[in-house]
Amino acid sequence: MTAPVASWIWRWRQLVDCRPGEGRALFWSFSGFFLLLAGYYVLRPVREEMGVVIGPENLQWGFTLALGGMLVLVPLYGWAAARLSRRRLLLAVFGCTTLVLAAFHAWIAGGVALPAALALFVWISVFNLLVVSLFWTVMADSFGHAQARRLFGMIAAGGSTGALIGPTITALSVHVVGVHGLLLVAATLILASLLCVLRVADAGGRGDHGQPVGGSVFAGLAEVLGSPYLAMIALLAVLQSVVGTFVYFEQARLVKAAALTAESRTQLFAMLDLGVNLLALALQALVAGRLMQRLGLGITLAAVPLLLVLPLAALAVLPALATVLCIQVIARAGGHGLLRPAREALFTAVEREPRYKAKNVIDTLLSRAGDALGGWLYAIAGLATTGVALAAVPGVLALAWLGLQLGKGYRRRVTVPADEGGAGRLPGA
């Protein structure tokens, strides 16, 4: 090995705190999340365009149908997780996702009618939570407590790097391939992601970690209801969805009022995603791991909600689209860059069955329940932009409090060793 290469590897390991024996798993994890979120962020502007076609006055129905889709899919996922090995579960979930995207491509190739727009909006809202939840479940199954605190930020940075590429692909190619063509691009990226995640799944964990988890189809919901720790994680996810939905609906209303063309709206959403993911990448690569190790998961979880208080107050004073877009950048970048890695690390402190089942219920069903709740609250309240901002402030303060409480709960469950190193999984992980 030449001196420049050795020096580069040493600096890279110092940056990410990667220990001997972890490099290969980190590479495939980073690459898998990179491709997965690149595929999703090709689709996200498509979903936003479908939301505009549906109309902000009807979006609560879209979120309600997404919740209905989760009510169907979560028991199916629980049944599959109880019976399929980790490899077969990945093949089933990722494979079905790409087949459905191919079917939607055929459906909307001739134009987007309201039923197609609603169905595609619902599917993208459902699938992204399912596949991302499964990805992080495999990560929590393959890395130990200390590894999660050190490496999950960098793995999440892989996703944000992909999330930079996805909107770029959309912005540059939507006028060439059309909205329907983007679905096939996303399906290809998701299949490539599967190949990377399988490398981690086949090598990660010990003993029976690759085998079916067994148990009841509805065990995930029972685990959430029976564990105060999991219930608090669930409440955090629901409240985060409610607050996010309020801001999302206000964004949709103000974008529609701007009277842009469909292609221009899709391009605007892609550029918004680009800004979000640039900031998220910086937070994941440079801040998240260090913050989790030095200040703990509680402070990491509380930081973003507290940072949102001032921008929301500014929105109450300056109710404009530009202010809403700034809040979206801060909230979503902070959510991906700090909240998500910290929340995923919380699941290394639970047993394997709730890691697969309760986590999936929280990430999918309960998150979409929060979206639906937020959508109906927004529609019923009929608030102007100033009212939306003022209503969101107590929500973000509650999120900060929940984050601090979860940090305490995590510390009670996990004894943090003096040396947080070690390439293998820790006992009980």
Check residues 176 and 400 and name the one with the higher pLDDT.
Answer: 400
Burial 167-194 (b: 16+ CB within 10 A, else e): bbbbbeebeeeebbebbbbbbebbebbb
Least confident among 11-15, 232-236, 387-391? 11-15
Domains contained in the chain, CATH given: 21-413 (1.20.1250.20)
Nearest-angstrom CA–CA distance, 28 and 7:
22
> What six digits make up the tokens of 320?
């404009």
Q: Using CA atoms, how far apart are residues 135 and 235, in angstroms rounded to an integer? A: 21
| DSSP classification of residue 426 | P
Average confidence (pLDDT) over 381-400: 86
pLDDT value for 333? 87
Q: What's residue 259's pLDDT? A: 64
Tally Cβ neighbours within 10 Å of residue 86: 26
Q: Which of 125, 137, 91 is nearest to 369 (CA)?
A: 125
Q: Find out whether 86 and 138 touch, Cβ atoms under 8 Å.
A: yes
Q: Is 428 helix (H, G, I), strand (E, B) or coil?
A: coil
Check: pTM over 0.75? Answer yes or no: no
Structure confidence by residue, pLDDT tens digits, 263-278: 677 677 777 877 887 8
Q: Out of 29-38, 370-379, 395-404, which region has the weakest mean confidence (pLDDT)?
A: 370-379
Whether the pLDDT of residue 34 is over 80: the answer is yes
Give the per-residue pLDDT at 38.
92
When the pLDDT of each residue in the chain is averaged and rounded to a whole number, the result is 80
CA atoms within 13 A of residue 74's CA, in its CB half-sphere = 26
**Burial of residue 3, with CB atoms counted within 10 A of its CB: 0-12 exposed, 13-18 middle, 19 or more buried:** exposed
Which is more confidently placed, 297 or 363? 297
Distance CA 272, CA 239 (A): 23
Cβ atoms within 10 Å, residue 427:
8
Encode pLDDT of 212-223 as tens digits: 554 454 566 777
Written as six digits, the tokens of 232 are 């608090």
pLDDT in tens, 96-141: 999 999 999 888 887 778 888 888 888 888 888 788 888 988 887 8
Residue 264: per-residue pLDDT: 73
- Hey, what's the torsion of the CAs at 414, 416, 422, 423, to 10 degrees? 30
Confidence label for 91 from pLDDT (cuts 50, 70 and 90): very high
CA-closest candidate to residue 21, choices 379, 423, 354, 293: 423
